[in-house]
Amino acid sequence: MKLIFVAILAVILGGPAVSQGLQTAVIADELVLDVRQASDVTLEQFLWKNRLIVVFADNALNPAFRTQMDLFNARVGALLERDVVVITDTDPATPSDIRIALRPRGFGFVLIDKDGVIKLRKPSPWDVREISRSIDKTPLRQQEVRDARELQ
């Protein structure tokens, strides 16, 4: 039920771009997490702009996939603070370029840093706190934090 509400709300707020499948959004506490389908994007378009979490499943009803998306929805702010875009791929029958490049098996997620380097692969859902800690340990994130402190 919650997923249906989120999809309807995303279409209403996102207008034609969302309804055409170009982009979807997860709404939580008035923050919007950028969630896109793997068939609509390339990894290169996010290089040096965003960190990516690519979530794979054999279908959108997979319990692990739904759990992972719920975990993202519960802590949207932490992901936005770290410039995260979520890319989903739930159709192995029509493999996207991203699925071909990352070669997942069943459910899994891949964390890719802004420089395009894979930082983490997990075969089961992971809490956003753990994902955030992994991101915060990367040299790029540590530099971002230092730069932000210098600007204050």
Can you give the pLDDT at residue 25?
A: 52
Query: Residues near 100 by Cβ (< 8 Å), separated by ≥ 6?
Result: none
Give the pTM.
Answer: 0.80
pLDDT value of position 152: 84
Q: Round to whole Å and give the CA distance between 90 and 77.
A: 25
Q: What is the pLDDT of residue 115?
A: 97
Q: In residues, how long is the chain?
A: 152
- Kindly tell me the burial class for residue 110, based on how many C-beta atoms sit within 10 Å of its own C-beta (0-12, 13-18, 19 or more): buried
At 92, which helix (H) or strand (E)? none
pLDDT less than 70: residues of the chain: 1-29
Using alpha carbons, list the distances in angstroms from residue 20 to 17, 56, 107, 115: 5, 21, 26, 30
Side chain identity at 101, as an amino acid letter? A
Which pLDDT score, from 0 to 100, does residue 2 have?
43
Domains of the chain: 2-151 (3.40.30.10)
Of 9, 127, 104, 94, whose CA–CA distance to 54 is shortest? Answer: 104
State percent of the chain over pLDDT 70.
81
